[in-house]
Structures are given as C-alpha cells and as structure tokens.
A and B are shown apart, each in its own frame.
Chain A
Amino acid sequence: MTVLCLVEIADGGLRDASKRALGVARGLAGSAGEEAAAVWVGPAEAISRSELGAAGVSVGYAISLGDGVGYAPVAWARGLAGLAGAPGSAGSADVAGSHESAGLVDSAGSRESAGLVDSAGPVSAVVAAATDRGNEVLAHLAAITGLPMAANCVSAVRSRSDQTDLVRQRWAGSLLEEATLDSPLALLTVAADAVAQPEASPAGAAGVAEMAGVTGVIGTAGVAGVTGLAETTHPVVHVYQPDLAEADLLVQATESADRRSGVSLATARVVVGGGRGVGGPDGFSVLEELADLLGGALGVSRVVTSQGWRPHRQQVGQTGTKISPELYLACGISGAIQHMAGCQGAKTIVAINTDPDAPIIAKANYAVIGDLHEVLPALIAALKSADEDG
C-alpha cells in the first residue's frame, strides 16, 4: 500500500510546507510498513529526482492536466482520486469495495510505453500540507469520494487497517483534538508550521530498483539536471493523465502578479505589533517608525482592523496572517488566543502593556510594564542616538 502526498511547487522545487507534509506522510506510511510517494500537478521534471531523493521519496507521480490549464481544484482532486483508484463520484454505495478492486489495476498496462500509469496501486491515505490549496483540494477529494477528511493534523499513525489515529488543530492550534479516522482511504492535511522539518534522508537505491522492477514502469529517464545525488538514489517519476469532464475544469484560476511591495508581514524578521492600546489610527506612525528602524513590518490586532484603524492585511492571528519573526514586539495587545495563534512561530515575544496581569504577560518571553506612548518614543530615541554614536 502507498501513502500519497500531494506536494506543491515553489521556486522550482518543493514548497517548504510540502516537505513537512511529506515528513508526516512518511511517518504514517512507516507506522503501517508502507511507502510514501509524492504527487504533484505539472510536468514530470517540475521536481528534480535529487530533491525527491533528499525528501526520502522513491516514487513520484506527476499529474498531467494538459497545457495551459490553470490551478483547477476539482481537476486536481479528480487526478488524486484516479491515482488512488478511488471511486470518481460521490454517492458510491461501496467505497471500500470498489477502492479495493480498483487498487488491483495493473500499472504495467498498455499505456506503459508512453510513460503513463493507470494508478498508483493500492493507496491507504492521501496527505497534503494544510495550505489554502491543500485544504481545498482534499476537501474536493473528500466530497468526490464521500469519505471523511481531517484538516490541520500534527501527527498521524495507522492504528489498524482502515483506521488512523491522529492529532489535529482546533482554534488554529490553540486547542488540540485527538481523534480516530475510520476510512479505507485516510484524507489528511498537515499543519505544516506545527511539525518539524524532516531530516534529509536519501532513499535506498536497492529499494527503488526493486520498486521499479515490480511495476515495470518507465520513469522519466530523460529528466534534465540529474545531479550526483540522483546517481546514488533513483527515484522514479510516473506520469498520470486523469480522465476529466469539462465540469472538472470549470473552476480554474487565472493568475496575475501581486503588485504589493515592501517587507511582507508573513516573512518579516521583526514585527512591531499594535493593538487597542495604541488608542486610534494616528497612534500607528510611531510603531511604523520603529518597524522601519528595525527593518521590520507593522502587525496589528483584530480590534485595530475592525475599528478601521489599519487595513486587514496587517492583522496577525487566526483570521489574519501567521508570522514567524525573530522578534515580535507586541504593544497594547492583550494576548487573546486568536491573536497568539498567529504568532506561535515567533522566536521571541516582547510585550509592552500597562497591565501586568494581561494574558500576554503569561505568554511573552519578556515584558515592559508601561504606556506604549512613553516607551516607544524613548526606544526610538535610544536607537537613533546609538546609530549616530556608532
């Protein structure tokens, strides 16, 4: 049996969240003595075999939707359903049964000569990173197959056949749910920022050779840019072309470049945060000045955006942006769980608050008790004079 992991491509390689999801997929596969395989939508060479090998994967499947097709969530889900040999339509009376028999499809069929496969063989789970796309595609897959789905998992193991024990996030990670998923095909997304980046582990060459021998499928031998690493590990990449109906491509994205410039909140090294304690829309110029001095970005609480003091794209939290800076300086913010859910990735949190009993004092690493309107101008003055001195 195989655990399929849908991976996304960024900057010509695996997206970081997908590497983490692959780690969880491999753990799930390992708990049942199975293998994990990577699946992506796009050309076979979109992910190099050396990168697959480094991610500990010996088999990849490239779902081909044809040229010029934009991101199409239903088509992606149909591709996964077909590859997993799952029933293609909701309301199938015997999901487990048809899944079982479809799993026996001989992948070394007539399409082999074209480098194509008909399925990935028996599949026990489909995993994806809990990105907007990962959650959306797996939800479509769940709806198409009529199976349950668990979003934002932080761990998953097979407890027995057709049963997966998992831990998943509620309240954007402020609460954890231990749950049992009863399904012949476990559908999970992984809360990537809450799981560790897996160690790079080259897959064993022997195991891969055997795999290739068993399936007899032609890999993409002509992949360009095969590096030294790929000589010791031989991940095989199969191409899968799903049968699509016109309706599967009805929802399709057209893309245009984002024009936003400046330091992005999500990736800033320093975030200066402001909450209700800032007092009004005019109070933020001081926080912006400090953010500029530190080469960082301004972040705000929901009170600030719902008052219209700052735009929502600056909101940190459960329904805003998740940040992971070296330093989060939270000023006049009480520390509600929905706000803190957005800054769990911060290395160090410093709170400036007039109230020594504010919840954020119990959650931050350091605190200054005081009025931000006093502390911040003094801090800015100190940083500027230090700049002039040295």
Chain B
Amino acid sequence: MEICVCVKRVPMVGGTIVVTPDEQDVDTSMAGFTVSPHEECGVEEAVQLVERLGGSVTVLTLGPPQAADQLRDMLALGANRAILLQTGGAEWGPVATADAIAGCLAERGFDLLLFGNEAADTGGYQVPVRVAHALGVPCVTGIKRLDVMSGSGDGRGSIAAGREYAGVEETFEVPLPAVVSVKEGINLPRYPSLPGRLRAKRAAFETIELAAPAPGGLAKRRLTVPAASASRAEVLGSGAAAVPALVRLLDELGVLR
C-alpha cells in the first residue's frame, strides 16, 4: 500500500504568542518548529498500516527550505521518502496550497492520502477536501478510527473510517484511492528511535521549487493577539495552607455539592 502524508511546518509557540511589528506574522525568533499533532498521528497511522500491509510511506510538505527539518522528523518516525514543495517562504493560502499538492500527487498513484484535519497555525479546514476534488477521489475528514480492507480483483481496497459527532459514532466506507484527514487521538505516535533518526539522514529526498502563487481570494490584512480577559491570578496562598481559602472559593462559585 502506497501512502502519502501531508504535513505543515508551524512555529512551536508555547506560553505566549507574539506578533511581528508589521503585524503580518507570528514572531518565531524564540520558537522552534513542529507539525500539528493531527499530522504526526497521520504519519504514525501510515507507518502502522505499512508495517501491517507492506508498501511505503511518503511525507510531503509545502514550505520554505527549512521545512526539510520537519520532513526529517517524520522520516525518523518511520516514513520512507520525502517530497519538499519548496516556496520562497511567504505564506501560501489554502487554495494555492491545495492546487500545488494536487498537482504534485496527480500522477503518483498513491492508494491513500493522509492529512491533518486542520493546520495548527492558520486552521483553514479545507486543503484535504480541495485536494480530493482536484484529484476526483472521495474524502473523509476528522477521522479517529481507520480500517483498511484489501481489494479483490483489480480493486485497490476500501476503508472504513470513523469519527464521533455530537455523541454519535459515524462510519464512512469508501473505496481507495481516497483522501482522509485525521485528528489526534487516532493513535499514540511513537517517539523517534535512534535507527529511525539515522535512516532519516539517508532517506530519498525530492525537492520541487514552486513559483509564488497569484494573490487573491482570502487576503490577510493584519494579525492581532486577542486581549487577555483575566488579569494576573489572585494568589489564594501557598501549599496546603491555601486549602481553607480554596474551599471558600469553591463554595462561592457554587460548585460544592
């Protein structure tokens, strides 16, 4: 089974988020970079499927040259090959991103295309769906359970993909090839092993340079950090000595039974 997983490089912001003075980007001078937990789970799912059914896992990202770091992280988790759709570093919107990814994947014959449900930073909620329409394959999103049924005859098999919605379990059965976007919780990703890291260094790496996309559609004007609603916490006390004050507070809040 040939699987491709699409991941996006995003800054690993922690306790606070700071915007650059021109209000166009998140200040990443102090930040490391990572991918969304949803996407990491996508890679883990692909690696587990290939361990069971054979085949290979390709990871793909569209981003600046430094996004190669994230591809190497994913190779260390067990992916076999990597594709970097290299940009000049400017932010690409979801329409242009999906076009470029679909263009790259069209002729490669993957059985399963895995995505995160939404990108961690821009949260567009659409790239997988757009890629599916561009390729003419079915798409299921927000998946937390995935079973693959092998194909009979010429068939490439099918999947049963599940998610919970408003307290109800939904299951979708679709033929392969298909686009599936997953959410964290579908599995517990492994930690990269030392052999994995060494393999990552030697893995096949394909780089395709992209020209800047045409502007239009949804255009960012500025980024702002929402005003904090609460000011600094009122300290009730230290250690167990704070318990009487804490009990009084719980009583005032009306949460004691």
Contact = CB atoms under 8 A, between A and B. Distances in A.
Interface string B190-226: 0000000000000000000000000011111111111
A176 B223 contact: yes
B174 interface: yes
B249 to A, nearest CB: 6
B65 interface: no
A79 B95 CA distance: 22
| A contact patch SS | mixed
A332 to B, nearest CB: 14
4 nearest A-B pairs in the assembled complex, by CB-CB distance: A359-B15, A148-B217, A312-B185, A370-B239
Given A319-B38, A383-B256, A366 B216 contact: no
A130 B125 contact: yes
B17 interface: yes
A253 B171 contact: yes
B11 to A, nearest CB: 10
A375 B243 contact: yes
B253 interface: yes
B174 A148 contact: no
14 contacts: A71-B170, A139-B126, A143-B132, A151-B124, A171-B123, A174-B226, A178-B220, A258-B167, A294-B256, A338-B13, A347-B253, A363-B228, A367-B233, A370-B242
Contacts, number: 265
Interface in B140-186: 140-142, 163-175, 183-185
B64 interface: no
A11 B171 CA distance: 21
B29 interface: no
Contact of B234 (A140, A183, A366, A370): A366
Name the residue in A139, A358, A364 with the highest tally of chain B Cβ atoms < 10 Å from its Cβ.
A139
Nearest to B98: A143
A257 B132 contact: no
B19 to A, nearest CB: 7
Given A370-B239, A375-B240, A327 B250 contact: yes
A20 to B, nearest CB: 16
A181 B242 contact: no
A149 B93 CA distance: 10
Interface string A134-149: 0110111011100111
Contact of B26 (A175, A180, A367): A175
Contacts of A312: 184-185, 188
Contacts of A182: 216-219
A179 B235 CA distance: 39
B223 A308 contact: no
Interface stretch (A37-45, A50-58, A228-236, A348-356): A348-356
B53 to A, nearest CB: 23
Interface of B: 13-17, 19, 26, 36-38, 93-95, 118, 120-126, 129-130, 132-134, 138-142, 163-175, 183-185, 188-189, 216-226, 228, 230, 232-240, 242-244, 246-247, 249-250, 253-257
Given A175-B225, A359-B16, A269 B233 contact: no
Contacts of A133: 165
Interface in A58-95: 71, 73, 90
A198 B133 CA distance: 35
A320 interface: yes
B181 to A, nearest CB: 9
A9 B256 CA distance: 34
A111 interface: no
Contacts of A210: none
Nearest to A250: B138
Contact of B13 (A144, A171, A358): A171
Given A136-B129, A148-B217, A152-B125, A295 B240 contact: no
B139 A251 contact: yes
Contacts of B250: 294, 327, 383
B257 A294 contact: yes
A367 B236 contact: yes
Contacts of B246: 350, 368, 375, 379
A133 B142 CA distance: 9
A101 to B, nearest CB: 22
A386 B249 CA distance: 14
Contacts of A144: 133
B172 to A, nearest CB: 6
B8 to A, nearest CB: 13
A315 B238 contact: no
Given A256-B169, A257-B168, A378 B129 contact: no
B166 A269 contact: no
B17 A375 contact: no
Contacts of B168: 255-258
B252 to A, nearest CB: 9
A39 to B, nearest CB: 19
Contacts of B170: 71, 253-255
